[in-house]
Amino acid sequence: MIPYAKPLIGEEEKKRVLEVMDSGMIASGPVTAQFEKEFSAYLGAEYGIATSNGTTALHVALLAAGVQPGDKVLTTPFTFIASGNSILYCDAKPVFVDIDPNTFLIDPEKVKEALEKDPEIKALLIVHLYGLSCDMDRIMPLVEKHNLILIEDCAQSHGAEYKGKKTGSFGQAAAFSFYPTKNMTTGEGGMVVTSREDIAAKARQIINHGRSGRYFHDMLGYNYRMTDIAAAIGSVQLGKLDGFNAKRVANARYLSEKLQGLTWLQTPYVPEQCSHVYHQYTVKVEKRDAFAQWLQEKGIGNSIVYPIPIHQQPFYQEIVGKELVLPRAEEVAEQVISLPIHPALTLEQLEEMVTTIKSFAF
């Protein structure tokens, strides 16, 4: 079986975790503070606020950037459920617009239309899905023109760039996840990144039960802190991130080259101005479900990311209405399948994948 995902934890991570265990300080402490500095510096941002996971990072990023109850937040339906849920946690209202069927990302044209139709939209939550940056040259002017709060969901885009600028450095705040399947991991973990001092201070307060002094609380907050055990893993993993990404890119290049000629399979599209970090290597296939089952039988891990766009999830249909149709997201959800791309893959495994895929009796 070729595993679909595989976290790579080395001796250095284990050693650093043991050091934390022996230090007597295992909750949020100096190692977390150090990891926050290293991670924000990697992105070229001023502040990092480590959190318990990527979902809490998103919740905090939205709140700290000023999303309030009742606010309309524009976003993509083609993403992990956490992107939508974090808007609901703020008692804000998600407004879903359709995607570009080639990049799978929110379509700036649809963003523009929605903003022109509804001047009440206050914020935009973009998702750099699969490791590919959104079209920032078309999104930023809209953000400025409509005075929007821009939040970036970077849970899949650690190190990805748009015209040489890292995702997570465009909006007022960004949220990262360090779940084990992501480009780097801390077990569970997340990070809010911002260059705005006021947003950083508010985020810090929110993850600490709203405290602004010792046992003094002037707002509702949560316990969303990261532990030093997780941060110790993250600090070592960050040092390996560029290497992990380079391996993902090399694996993707290999697959895309070998699978190029297949008429029934479409390899990932990468706009010239983007450097993709391939959190997922996602192809479009017509007979997707048959293909998925067949890969499974042949021992090749795979995943459908995502089979149901958020606006079609039963729970969301009550919120956005059953009549909302976003044809491209709905069509893409029936065509996509993600193949193993993680840095632990061997050349033999890549060769086996190509041979097997090519022999699919389409």
Ligand X SMILES: *Cc1c(COP(=O)(O)O)cnc(C)c1O
> What residue ranges bind ligand X (CB under 6 A)?
53-55, 58, 79-80, 82-83, 127, 153, 155-156, 177, 179, 190
DSSP 182-203: SSS--SS-EEEEES-HHHHHHH
- Residue 17's φ and ψ, nearest 5 degrees, are -65, -45
Q: Which C-beta is closer to ligand X: that of 177 or that of 205?
A: 177
Residues counted in the chain: 362
CB of 153 to ligand X, least distance (A): 5
CB of 184 to ligand X, least distance (A): 12
CB of 109 to ligand X, least distance (A): 22
Q: Which C-beta is closer to ligand X: that of 32 or that of 79?
A: 79
Secondary structure letter of residue 71 according to DSSP:
-
CB of 177 to ligand X, least distance (A): 3
Distance (Å, rounded) from C-alpha 256 to C-alpha 39? 31
Q: Which C-beta is closer to ligand X: that of 63 or that of 357?
A: 63
C-alpha distance from residue 85 to each of 40, 55, 57, 199, 316 (Å): 25, 8, 12, 21, 9
Please report, to the nearest 10 degrees, the dihedral formed by the alpha carbons of residues 136, 307, 294, 281 taken in order. Answer: 20
- Residue 170's φ and ψ, nearest 5 degrees, are -100, -40
CB of 90 to ligand X, least distance (A): 15
Q: And the tokens for 139?
A: 């999104």
C-alpha radius of gyration, the chain, whole number: 20
Q: Which C-beta is closer to ligand X: that of 87 or that of 149?
A: 87
Q: Which C-beta is closer to ligand X: that of 212 or that of 223?
A: 223
Q: Which C-beta is closer to ligand X: that of 156 or that of 169?
A: 156
Closest residue by beta carbon to ligand X: 54
Per the CB < 8 A criterion, the answer to whether 99 and 126 are in contact is: no
CB of 288 to ligand X, least distance (A): 20
Residue found under tokens 């061997």: 346
